[in-house]
Structure 1
Amino acid sequence: MTASGPVRILVCDDHVVVRAGLLALLDSAPGIEVAGEAGTGEEALALAAKLAPDVVLMDLQLGEGIDGVETTRRLTRGPGPRPHVLVLTTYDTDADITRAIEAGATGYLLKAERPEELFAAIHAAAQGRTALSPPVASRVMAGLRNPRPSLTGRERDILAQLARGLGNREIARALFISEATVKTHLRRIYDKLGVDTRAGAVAVAKERRLLP
């Protein structure tokens, strides 16, 4: 609860049924007041500017228009009131989590969470405290313990071709470079990934989600 009263929340989800369920659930939550609802990112931005909620409960995939990540970025970095954004989604890939956090999300929850955990996360977000679902927290910690190696664009291109099973000559033709250049890049890729074989490079790339 904020100093002046209940936490005022704006719900943004493009699925009407899901949104209705969330509104009904939040209406029963102590210390939480639903200020409004939006079905698109554009609606969320307009309503946030008008209603000045404490927290925006944000889905990532919003159908047409701007997605939840871009909406989060504009809410947390734009002019005017800047609400805390709590992502509530079914997506838990490393890429989704990273994009949302980098965009300014205060927390990241999965829709499988129990109601009381959602309520607690909303109150935490209103105070600027991070709230993460356990699976999300595990992914974040794993990423910190095993940070992704920094590959150049060309190295990523070659890695993608490796994953397709192409040989050096085929990669050179596909990327319009020489075989010698391919071999040089491969040595650098192996060093960065800590492997010494093509199969090892592809395996690590898949494990760390380095492939497109």
Structure 2
Amino acid sequence: MGGGSLFESSQGESEVAVVVIDAHDVVHAGIEAWATGSQPRMKVVGHYAHPGDFIEDHPTASSVVDVVLFGLEYGARAPVFDALRQVCRAGHRVVVYSHLDHDEVILNSLDAGAVCYVVKSESGMHLAEAIYAAGSETPYVAPAMARALHNGAVRGRPRLSTRECQVLIAWCQTENKDVVAKRLFIEPSTVRTHLQRVRAKYAAIGRPAPTKAALIARAIQDGILDVDEL
């Protein structure tokens, strides 16, 4: 590790110090190669496979790291927002970079504290702009992020917790609540409570889902679940 906040390069240009958190080695290598020669300059100053290892080394924000590039992945069939939330709460400026492009995933990432969300299918220009903006504490909205924000405002979306999303996904994919409970290592009564809260939140925004079929439809509409995952 090394560097400093927007430190000066040998050419006198400001560089953005970036740390990459991603489980895949090829992503680390690709980002570092892509960053080389970027204008304005950015420098990858650290690689981590697990968010917990990064937090152990950087429990609070400092001048060593300007921007954290966070590779959001699935864990237990739901995106791992808890780890993202932990990094954001430590004060780090986080740009999420992921193949996940569902509106609900993007909105939940922003709710967790990410300053920007860039989908891997979007051009490198958007990723660069997001990193530079985060490093200078200015806003930037990438295309998929803009779509998610717009759709969320237009159609209304419930503010589901990470656990509620996990229960909802598992419920949509299984035959009964007992199976959900076993999959998530919780009590059947806890499953029922979470589903009651999910239905109450949908009803509160004028999108009731009183049946399982309706709940599945809502989950698909909001990008919580793909049809292929059923």
Shorter-chain TM range is: 0.5 to 0.7
Q: Please give the alpha-carbon distance, in whole angstroms, between the structure 2 residues aligned to 1:112 and 1:104.
A: 22
State the Cα distance separating 1:202 from its structure 2 match. 6.8
State the Cα distance separating 1:111 from its structure 2 match. 0.9
Alignment partner of 1:75 out of 83, 87, 101:
87
1:54 pairs with 2:63: no
SS in 2 for 1:87: strand
State the Cα distance separating 1:117 from its structure 2 match. 2.3
Q: Against the structure 1 CA distance between its residues 63 and 37, is the aligned structure 2 distance closer, same or farther, given a 3 Å change threshold?
A: farther
After the TM superposition, which of the residue ranges 100-109 and 54-63 deviates more from structure 2?
54-63
State the Cα distance separating 1:191 from its structure 2 match. 9.4
State the Cα distance separating 1:149 from its structure 2 match. 5.7
Counterpart of 1:207?
221
Alignment partner of 1:20 out of 15, 20, 29:
29
Q: Please give the alpha-carbon distance, in whole angstroms, between the structure 1 residues aligned to 2:111 and 2:155.
A: 18
Q: Please give the alpha-carbon distance, in whole angstroms, between the structure 1 residues aligned to 2:25 and 2:122.
A: 19
Alignment partner of 1:100 out of 103, 109, 128:
109
Deviation string, structure 1 residues 22-47 (Cα, Å, up to 9, x no partner): 11111221321111111111222234
Instruction: Report the TM-score, using the length of structure 2 for normalisation.
Output: 0.61
Q: Please, which runs of 5 or more residues in structure 1 have no aligned partner?
A: 165-174, 176-184
Q: Please say if residues 7 and 16 of structure 2, whose CA atoms lie closer than 8 Å, have aligned partners that are also in contact.
A: no
After the TM superposition, which of the residue ranges 39-48 and 120-129 deviates more from structure 2?
39-48
Q: Please give the alpha-carbon distance, in whole angstroms, between the structure 2 residues aligned to 1:91 and 1:24.
A: 23
After the TM superposition, which of the residue ranges 95-104 and 202-211 deviates more from structure 2?
202-211
Identity %: 26
State the Cα distance separating 1:133 from its structure 2 match. 2.6
SS in 2 for 1:136: helix
State the Cα distance separating 1:128 from its structure 2 match. 2.3
Q: Please say if residues 105 and 224 of structure 2, whose CA atoms lie closer than 8 Å, have aligned partners that are also in contact.
A: no
Root mean square deviation of aligned Cα: 4.2
Q: Against the structure 1 CA distance between its residues 147 and 37, is the aligned structure 2 distance closer, same or farther, given a 3 Å change threshold?
A: same
Alignment partner of 1:143 out of 147, 152, 162:
152
Which structure is larger by alpha-carbon Rg, 1 or 2?
A: 1
1:193 pairs with 2:207: yes
* Matched AA of 1:42: G
Q: Please give the alpha-carbon distance, in whole angstroms, between the structure 2 residues aligned to 1:63 and 1:111.
A: 19
Deviation string, structure 1 residues 107-146 (Cα, Å, up to 9, x no partner): 0001122222221111011122333331231121111122
Q: Against the structure 1 CA distance between its residues 209 and 47, is the aligned structure 2 distance closer, same or farther, given a 3 Å change threshold?
A: same
Q: Please, which runs of 5 or more residues in structure 2 have no aligned partner?
A: 9-13, 176-188, 190-198
Q: Please give the alpha-carbon distance, in whole angstroms, between the structure 1 residues aligned to 2:214 and 2:70.
A: 38
* Matched AA of 1:97: I
Q: Please give the alpha-carbon distance, in whole angstroms, between the structure 2 residues aligned to 1:90 and 1:202.
A: 23
* Matched AA of 1:69: F
Give the 5 Å matches for 1:107-186. 107-148=116-157
Q: How many residues align?
A: 182
Counterpart of 2:50?
40
Instruction: Report the TM-score, using the length of structure 1 for normalisation.
Output: 0.66
Deviation string, structure 1 residues 45-68 (Cα, Å, up to 9, x no partner): 23434873000000112779xx75
Counterpart of 1:167?
none
